[in-house]
Amino acid sequence: MGMFNNRKRWRVPAGVEPTALDRRVMAMESRGALVPKRTLIRTPEQIEGIKRSGVINTAILDLVGEKIHAGMSTLEIDELVHNYTIEHGAIPATLGYEGYPKSVCTSINEVVCHGIPSAKEILKEGDIINVDCTTILDGYYADASRMFVIGETTPRKQKLVDVAKECLEIGMEAAKPFGFVGDIGNAIERHAHKNGFSVVRDLCGHGVGLKFHDDPEVLHYGKKGTGMLLVPGMVFTIEPMINMGTWKVFIDSADGWTVITEDELPSAQWEHTFLMTETGLEILTH
């Protein structure tokens, strides 16, 4: 299991009687497990808020799926996302986040993630594109992305898109209550490698819900039984970035955001926001 040699993270507030969950987590922490802070366990009210945000986030990606086509600019995608979000009383989380200039990320072909929408970037037949959207509603965050294939693409690129989705699903299945984050990454990495693809190591999934990025860091590679303990009530993303060639990437110096594969071969990614329950993961961004 993941080892952690710092002060105790799981703290029951003074005067509060420890629950069965508290006792189980504290027992695992005493045996050396890296456990989350107790504050990462979401209340039923918080979970409902995240779900409501997820409904809007899902509807946005559904709208993109209906409208996306060859000849469309990625700026038009951004306008769709921005307008729908605002019209439904929500906020696009990426807009202005650490200086990011748009309301969505649009990443085509060899762009792994964080592609910035542009009027000059026109979709063409055979492109594969990841549209990554994060919504804030009443202070609650939901984060998801989908791949879209423009018309027909090559068999190899189609397989990449399909395997990336399978990696997300396999990672979801590997995530069990009181398992570890490493279980997720191990399952994803094995499936990607089995199909001749690689897994990006420089970016990862993350806790989400009350803010954009939180614990745990969800690596998409690694060993079983390592990383943070997965406790019911945690909310986080799984978002494997799967490359056709090398797993190595670089950031475009021209904008400081766009992440590109080092060999400039295609990449694909799918993402959901999940709630860990007592029986497994629940998808909050259908």
pLDDT tens by residue, 56-86:
999 999 999 999 999 999 999 999 999 999 9
Question: Residues 151-188: pLDDT tens digits?
Answer: 999 999 999 999 999 999 999 999 999 999 999 999 99
- Which superfamily does 39-283 belong to? Creatinase/methionine aminopeptidase superfamily (3.90.230.10)
Q: Is the pLDDT of residue 1 over 50?
A: no
pLDDT for 22 = 96
pLDDT for 250 = 98
Mean pLDDT of the chain: 96
Note the maximum CA span of the chain: 63
pLDDT for 8 = 82
Question: Residues 117-145: pLDDT tens digits?
Answer: 999 999 999 999 999 999 999 999 999 99
- Measured CA to CA, the distance from residue 220 to residue 46 in angstroms comes to 26
Q: Percent of the chain having pLDDT more than 70?
A: 98
Q: Is the pLDDT of residue 200 over 50?
A: yes
pLDDT for 7 = 63
Q: Give the DSSP letter string of the chain.
A: --B--SS----PPTTPPP-HHHHHHHHHHHTTB----GGGSPPHHHHHHHHHHHHHHHHHHHHHHHH--TT-BHHHHHHHHHHHHHHTT-EETTTTGGG--SSSEEEETTEEE-PPP-TT-B--TT-EEEEEEEEEETTEEEEEEEEEE-S---HHHHHHHHHHHHHHHHHHHH--TT-BHHHHHHHHHHHHHHTT-EE-SS--EEE-SSSSSEEEEE-SS--TT-S-B--TT-EEEE--EEESS-S-EEE-TTTS--EEETT---EEE-BEEEEE-SSSEEES--
Question: Residues 106-118: pLDDT tens digits?
Answer: 999 999 999 999 9
**pLDDT bucket at 286, cuts 50 / 70 / 90:** confident
pTM of the complete model? 0.95
Q: Where are the domains of the chain?
A: 39-283
Are 59 and 67 a contacting pair, CB within 8 Å? no
Beta strands 198-199 and 241-243 are antiparallel
